[in-house]
Amino acid sequence: MQVAFLVAMEGIEQVELTEPWQAVIDAGGSPKLISTDSGRVQAFNHLDKADTFPVDQTVEQASVDEFDGLVLPGGVANPDALRLNPKAVAFAKGFFSAGKPVAAICHAPWTLIEADVVRGRTMTSWPSLQTDLRNAGATWVDEQVKVDKNGPNTLITSRKPDDLKVFCETFVPEFRK
């Protein structure tokens, strides 16, 4: 199981990267960190700088064909930067075109809104995104995790760091299929 983790160069909520990453490893999978540039990405614990992580591939180097699924960690700045990068948006959208599963937590659905792939989907997120998701054509629900199979692929969304255990327990089996 090869899993892409798409992040911007900074602003990633660290725990929303590290816990799903570890869940992929624990399931025998291989996670890869994909970003907009090479080097190291800066994670945060809310608003405080945390650790940095090495980028495995840039969005220009990576191909959707290499991966079984995509994880989009949150943090406010991370998906906000990704949605302004056309190559990152196209990479995320490519998983939908290929019918591959995507998992997004917290503010990460902003990238999916920009990719225009949420219309007709039922999703959850950090509560402040509910209006954005509804305006983009999604149905927003306040649940720990939501699995939506209404489309070419499975979309798994979750609200916040407190939901990470259920998020990981849900997306890993979907990515194995």
Q: Give the active site residues.
A: 106-107
Q: Using CA atoms, how far apart are residues 49 and 33, in angstroms rounded to an integer?
A: 19
Q: Give the helix, strand, coil percentages of the chain, each rounded to 5.
A: 35, 30, 35
> Contact 3/29 with Cβ under 8 angstroms?
yes
Structure tokens at 41: 């990405």
User: In Å, what is the CA distance from 5 to each residue of 54, 85, 132, 141, 148?
Assistant: 12, 16, 23, 24, 20
Q: Using CA atoms, how far apart are residues 129 and 109, in angstroms rounded to an integer?
A: 8
